[in-house]
A and B are shown apart, each in its own frame.
Chain A
Amino acid sequence: MNICGYYPESINEGEGLRAALFISGCRHYCKGCFSPATWNFLYGEPFTPEREQEIIRDIAGNPLLSGVSILGGDPFFSAAEVSAFLDRLREAAGAISAWIYSGYTFEELTRDAKSPEYGLLSRCQVLVDGRYVDELRDPSLLYRGSSNQRLIDIPASLSQRGIVEWRPTFSF
């Protein structure tokens, strides 16, 4: 697995200050994608155990973070590896919240409860879902690009077997 970006602190990819990790590789090929270079699974740098440790240490040692955000590419094309990363992160840093971005919808990701995709989804708290649709682009949207994309509260949606949208803790 390659990663194509890491921001130790960001306010643009989810609520609070979050570490943002970008996983290389995507097969959605959305028209108007802002970073088509990241479609390539070999783009960026290899996610070596050393690099992973560095990032885990970084996140565990930052008292200001509200959590981690995982983006891409689309992390669900590397679901098993990303799940393993989250497990190791939580082993070191405790119960840390995870947001995850995908071109797949919540419905697509929950079709098979035994799939690695489902496994990754269930490890996260908020899903930003759906392909980017250029015609629905709206720069005023919170944490996403086009209006078809949703912010989904994963634990609530899984337990209620239906979509529960995520609500901000503070609404300015």
Chain B
Amino acid sequence: MTSEQTTLAGEVIRFAGFLKGRGFRVFQSSVHDALRSLEEISLEEKGDFFHSLRTNLTATDLEWVQFENLFDQFWGRAGRDQEAAAEDRRQDPKTGPPPSVTEDQFLPDAPADASTLTDSDDNRQWLEGIAYSPVSMVRKKDLGRFNQGDIPMAELALRQMMAPFKIQPSRRTKRGRSAGNLDFPAIIRKCLKTGGTPFEIFYKEKKKRLKRLVILADVSGSMDRYARFVMPFLLGLRGIGSRAEVFVFSTSLTRVTFLIRHLSVEKALARIADEVPDWSGGTRIGYSLHQFNQKYGDFLLSRRTAVVLLSDGWDLGGKDLLMREMAFLSRKAHAVIWLNPLAGDPAYEPLCRGMKTALPYVDYFLPADSLQSLKRVIRLLSRVMGH
């Protein structure tokens, strides 16, 4: 290997570290493959260099989107501009051939530490004091203080947390007692002992499915500062399969499962805000629960349903109604989990009337004020949702 190549390899490794520091999941094997890829492509083509690194060092759509920017920051803009120009030329045959490219343009034209990244206020906020890892920083940040720029990072972090979290319905089968699908392997096994006569017939049946998850999120005025985070959290739950249902409520209830499944965070937020007439208005938890129980209770609530309520408990509605609906919910569902963004404060006491009324019917009461605390929520959920 020439010294130039060595430098390039070193820089690629450093770039992988740079990405890791920004929340990317870069594996050792991916770095190795990235270096192997560079041996396969012609380094003359800046575009190929970019594409090879991107395909090896990203693994999700979010990383894919952020990669371009981070690549530019680390390697300097020259490489990408060259590629764009070349792409233009390909589309317009009138311009001349691409100028020759020298290898040193690949090397970073500026030191790649965090200080070079503060080209805008946005970036500064992003990375304030977190040259090491923005994700770990985001985890500690109070969710109420999240700004829009944090959402992609929060989403990235949430997805990482969700990775080991399985709420997929099981389709594995077990030995069953009632007539159903024949269990041929078992029949055959028995049959061989009796010279091929199947004296005993075995059936298999599906193992029990995992529980259904229903999320009811408060998007009223008092929750407003959390709402921007509540949504990415709900969207982070996208991976939990077809048995999750998501509703938002303030003065009334809206089902948003469809939007959450189909749109990106920002768009889902906009559409939900659009479709929920009183987004950021007052809260009537009792009435919203009443609507839920009436309309969806029959087919969504069962002993296999876990209900998660995300709210600070500020309620403008009547106490009796709330009590009645909470009682109904806790009677019908397997577990009611209440996540309260205020409860993270050690001095917090459930003083507001709504919270006080609802608390006796809640199986688990947990804070949801930072990604760290949400991690606990996820642990609890995976326990509750399991078999």
Q: Do A and B come from one complex?
A: no
**A residues lining the B interface (CB < 8 Å):** none
